[in-house]
Amino acid sequence: MCGGDPRFGSQLVEAGPGVAEVISAVPFQENPPLSSDWLRSEMLERFQVIRPVEIDPGTRVLEVGAGAHAISTVPLAYRVGAQGRVVAVERERWTHFREVVHAVGLADRILPLTCDARRLPFRSNVFELGACIHGIRSLRSEGRMVEVFQEMLRVAPRILLAESLPLARNPAQRAHLAMYDLRQEIFEALNGVPDDLHYLSLDRLVGLVERAGGSVLQARVVEVDLPHALAYLPRAYVQRVPDPQKREDLLHRWDGAEQLRRRYGADHPPVGVIVAEVAY
């Protein structure tokens, strides 16, 4: 579902030999119907998203919501260099994390830590940067987002947030949003708790950072132009929704979204990137 996209190859070349070397060491993943290079493509997107942000070699980074594949942890670890460190905080999902960070040769810069980012076990300002890349969507409510941003601003004087925006500039981005926007409701219907919340606008994200006590230094939109296969959920998964009316409605919308995806593919929407510091 993203294999062989020519944009991946050309952007890999543009990213430079160091990034290309890291990406080419990322293990292939067998998760049909996703193509086996989906993790490489997603990781390249994370490299692109943090590229405009100043991260000095030697920086100590606290990352929130690292996820099961270290997709954003590896780019952060690459950017901090051999003297830097990334403490990667994750509440529960570590499935391929060790395998990936070892495969790319950056495991010695990365310290994984299982905990809830709303209560980080660190003294104030022990890090130089707090980062949450494509993880805000998983924080389950705006109230929790504020709590997590507050905690990040307590342990680091500067934070970097990146999250997809609810914007579509072409049919492939519209196709991504159509499928992605079903996820919150599907997870809620199946598990009783929402996950993968609808993307927030950049203004709304800025407002939440300010509520958390942050002063925004930069808020920019990064256009990625890469495929994005990860919103996809199998139809069989939606068929497990117990409420018949809800199931019918979701299946109908899933069919529409899948039709768009087959016709246009699915691309990353523009990404909002925010850098903020503690407001005095």
Establish if 133 lies at the interface with ligand SAM (CB under 6 A). Answer: yes
Q: Is the dihedral of CA 112, 193, 151, 206 positive or negative?
A: positive
Question: Which of 112, 135, 214, 227 is the binder for ligand SAM (CB under 6 A)?
Answer: 135
For residue 120, the 8-state DSSP code is: -
Burial 218-257 (b: 16+ CB within 10 A, else e): ebeebebbbbbbbbbbeeeebeebeeeeebeebeebbeeb
Question: Which of 34, 55, 66, 177 is the binder for ligand SAM (CB under 6 A)?
Answer: 66
Establish if 72 lies at the interface with ligand SAM (CB under 6 A). Answer: yes
- Give me the 75-94 binding string for ligand SAM, x by CB under 6 A, dash otherwise: --------------xxxxx-
Nearer to ligand SAM, 107 or 139 (CB): 139
Note whether 73 and 95 are within 8 A (CB): no
- Do β-strands 60-64 and 85-90 pair in parallel, antiparallel, or remain unpaired? parallel
Question: Which of 138, 166, 253, 278 is the binder for ligand SAM (CB under 6 A)?
Answer: 138
Establish if 26 lies at the interface with ligand SAM (CB under 6 A). Answer: no
Minimum separation from the CB atom of position 255 to ligand SAM (A): 25
Question: Which of 35, 40, 67, 214 is the binder for ligand SAM (CB under 6 A)?
Answer: 67
The tokens describing 53, both together, are 């942000």
By CB under 6 A, the count of residues binding ligand SAM is: 21
Establish if 116 lies at the interface with ligand SAM (CB under 6 A). Answer: yes
Minimum separation from the CB atom of position 229 to ligand SAM (A): 12
Nearest to 85 by CA among 67, 111, 120, 47: 111
- Residues 141 to 170: which contact ligand SAM by CB under 6 A? none
**3-class secondary structure, 72:** coil
Q: What are the strands of the beta sheet with 110-114, ordered from one edge?
A: 110-114, 85-90, 60-64, 129-133, 158-164, 271-278, 214-222
Nearer to ligand SAM, 98 or 262 (CB): 98
Strands in 116-234 per DSSP E: 129-133, 158-164, 214-222
Task: Write down the residue that tokens 């990146």 correspond to.
Answer: 162
Minimum separation from the CB atom of position 172 to ligand SAM (A): 19
For residue 201, the 8-state DSSP code is: P
Establish if 202 lies at the interface with ligand SAM (CB under 6 A). Answer: no
| Sole window of 111-119, 231-239, 245-253, 254-262 interacting with ligand SAM (rule: CB under 6 A) | 111-119
Establish if 208 lies at the interface with ligand SAM (CB under 6 A). Answer: no
Rg, C-alpha atoms of the chain: 18
Question: Which of 109, 134, 154, 183 is the binder for ligand SAM (CB under 6 A)?
Answer: 134
* Binding site residues, ligand SAM, CB under 6 A: 46, 64-67, 71-72, 89-93, 116-118, 133-135, 137-139
